[in-house]
Structure 1
Amino acid sequence: MDLPIVVGVDGSEPSLRAVDWAADEAVLRGASLRLVYASLWERYEGAALAHDVGRSSEQIRAQDIVETAARRGHRRHADLKISIDTLPEEPEYTLVRESRHASLLVTGTRGRSGVAEALLGSVSLSVAGHAHCPMVVVRDSRDKQVRPGTHGRIVVGVGVGVGERPTTPAAVRFACDEARLRGAVLDAVRAWRRPAHGTTDHPLLVGEPARMHEEQAVEVLDKALHDVPADVEAHRRTVEGHTRDVLVAASRDADVLVVGAERHHRHFGLQLGRVAHGVLHHSACPVAIVPERA
């Protein structure tokens, strides 16, 4: 059975932009769309939602929210198969459970001010750390619009897992699939940093430690991309700098930024590393967090 793309909606404009992005993705994949609203969100955010849509909190109803989201999806793609559901549960619990039976989980951000728009909503951040399927957080663009295939480039960060270990094979496979679906180039990026104190005892050794670190980065890239299909155009790129900063810069002309997340056996679900956490907050394009199956 083909699994749907699940979108967490809450009535906010960022969540509706997530519906736009997910609808485009569903068409690419030949998948259906499932729109889910967890009704306990209203208890905590009803007043804010009312402010967003110009209605009193009493008028905000779960069914209205998912039906509005469904209409948005059908305006994007009239023939798209869309199902809706409202659940009387906490949103984090609902979406993590939904991710067990989804091909992809999609959420938006919830910024409402100049400061807040730079931050990631607590629900999206929590779910990103625990989802069982790949999850995409749709970051707001400058013009607040979702435009598919703008750059023709999918970026995968290599060496972005917990502890800076090489990116999981699942993340590379996901990035390859996205590149193939979109007819885009796969751009694999590995950040590296020169040692703080280079060897200067001998003139011939000046710069040698930095060269060795860059060569190691190239080796990691080659290993990570060893099994990339022949029909995917893949580029390798090593960049000196902090991994988060390198990937945020790469996101500025990418359609999707892909990073991996590894399961911790002593903790529930997935735990995000500092790099994944950082790009979720600051990426200029949608970010895909891909779990590695143990």
Structure 2
Amino acid sequence: MEKIQIFYYTGTGSTKIIAEEIYNQLSALNIECELHRLTVDSIDMISQKLDFDAKLILLYAVHAFNAPDLVYTWIKSLEEISNRSAMVISVSGGGAMISNSACRVPVKRLLQQKGFKTTTEAMAVMPNNWMTPVPDEIAKELIRVVPHKVSKWINAFLHNKSLPYLKPLLIDYPITSLGRIEVIGAKHFGKHIKVNSSCNGCGYCIKNCPSNNITFKVSESGEKTVKFDSKCHFCLSCVYECPQHALSPGWFKFAVIPTGYPLKSYCEPSENPLSKDELLPLLKGKAWEGVRNYLIED
């Protein structure tokens, strides 16, 4: 019986939505599958669970034209195998566009060194959580098309087929390399997150941080305060998802959308979804090219 293992890295939850949809659709096809989230605390345990007879699906949110650093760390920790099929799905707010086109290349190269054969790759587009919000209508449409997109990707992967994607341009390789500088910036961002008086010590940020960057500091009187380290991945999960809205950036404030990232709201069905003809006027310009192509390609 065929088996597929799904591994994903998520910060604010967009990649999790796609990973869970993949899991559900594979299960509906009576394919044995497993779903694992990659975090600093989980990678050792997950590496031990790797089944050498199973196919691999790897998903990750794009960070500065790259996979998050943890994804590279995880792949490098794997034992070498022989000719195991893999599908790589990158998830971004901009889609398949110039500068994003090489974001899967380092991952595929590392997987190949470990004995994996990437037969299928795709770029998923989800609502942007960096700097600029997308219109609600666009965000809801990106969520709505997830099942259809996943069905197409799964069908290609099960038949060892490739999917159309933007071929990396030569200029994108140095851009991808330069994007690694963000790893340094992320450490400073995470170290300087501010906590206001609304914090009630619920620990939500600690539980959901993929980099294990947040802990509790307990005073001599027993009072708990949130403490931030310099292991941040810049995923913005803690800032956007704090139930008390108690966290805000101290550095790189431009990166955070002031109105937040209401993913749960985006996932609520629209009472009057827009047609493609109504969506296109909202997606004018070069900056929207990747999202526009993603939504109209089918």
Alignment TM-score, normalising by the size of structure 1: 0.31
Larger Rg: 1
Alignment TM-score, normalising by the size of structure 2: 0.31
